[in-house]
């Protein structure tokens, strides 16, 4: 398996992988919308290839954390692995690769809404521990954050997702 940044020729297969993994087109559309917005971080849209075929994709993009000031933080979404390639470590490898890049970029914190059983193994913890709240009702254990090396205490408040996320 090889992990690398997405390039333009990957866009169609990335949409296919997202649609197959989620069983709907909403996440594929989300990826496209973010790509065309100022929230897009080119080096943090990653694909996983097996024998030169893209079978997984992860997107990290900027979202707002609104407290005393509004800070840009990183949101992890969506993550998709082709159904025939799940449970082989590909999703985990994409998360680890993305977290390393975010850390190297001196980003402070990564936010995810997902399964605690899966994400806690990468160091994600319930956001309430860091006084970070969701802007919509969600169980505490599924709204998680991973502080990176550049984390500082000022990173607290309410997470506001761009309108592109309204469709998922």
Residues that bind ligand COA (CB under 6 A): 21-22, 79-81, 86-92, 114-115, 117-118
What is the smallest separation between the CB atom of 70 and ligand COA, expressed in angstroms? 25
What is the smallest separation between the CB atom of 138 and ligand COA, expressed in angstroms? 12
Q: Which is nearer to ligand COA, 30 or 81 (by Cβ)?
A: 81
In the bound complex, which residue of the shown chain has the CB atom lying closest to ligand COA?
91
What is the smallest separation between the CB atom of 14 and ligand COA, expressed in angstroms? 12
CA gap 60, 92 in Å, rounded: 14
Q: Which is nearer to ligand COA, 34 or 71 (by Cβ)?
A: 34
Q: Which is nearer to ligand COA, 35 or 57 (by Cβ)?
A: 57
Q: Which long-range contacts (C-beta less than 8 Å, at least 24 apart) are formed by 3-8?
A: 3/46, 3/47, 3/48, 3/49, 3/93, 3/94, 3/97, 4/46, 4/47, 4/49, 5/42, 5/43, 5/45, 5/46, 5/47, 6/42, 6/45, 6/46, 6/47, 6/57
What is the smallest separation between the CB atom of 78 and ligand COA, expressed in angstroms? 6
Q: Which is nearer to ligand COA, 20 or 67 (by Cβ)?
A: 20
Contact 32, 22 (CB under 8 A): no
Strands 109-113 and 132-134: unpaired
What is the smallest separation between the CB atom of 103 and ligand COA, expressed in angstroms? 19
Contact 75, 62 (CB under 8 A): yes
Q: Which is nearer to ligand COA, 71 or 145 (by Cβ)?
A: 145
């Amino acid at each position: 398996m090889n992990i690398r940044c997405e390039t333009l020729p990957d866009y169609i297969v990335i949409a296919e992988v997202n649609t197959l993994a989620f069983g709907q087109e909403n996440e594929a559309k989300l990826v496209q919308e973010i790509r065309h917005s100022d929230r897009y971080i080119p080096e943090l849209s990653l694909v996983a290839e097996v024998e030169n075929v893209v079978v997984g994709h992860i997107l990290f993009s900027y979202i707002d954390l609104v407290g005393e000031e509004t800070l840009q933080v990183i949101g992890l979404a969506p993550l998709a692995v082709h159904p025939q390639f799940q449970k082989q470590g590909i999703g985990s490898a994409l998360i680890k690769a993305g977290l390393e890049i975010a850390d190297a970029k001196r980003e402070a914190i990564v936010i995810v809404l997902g399964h605690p059983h899966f994400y806690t193994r990468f160091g994600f913890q319930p956001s309430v521990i860091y006084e970070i709240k969701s802007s919509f009702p969600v169980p505490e254990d599924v709204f998680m954050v991973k502080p990176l090396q550049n984390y500082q205490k000022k990173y607290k408040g309410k997470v506001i997702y761009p309108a592109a996320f309204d469709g998922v």
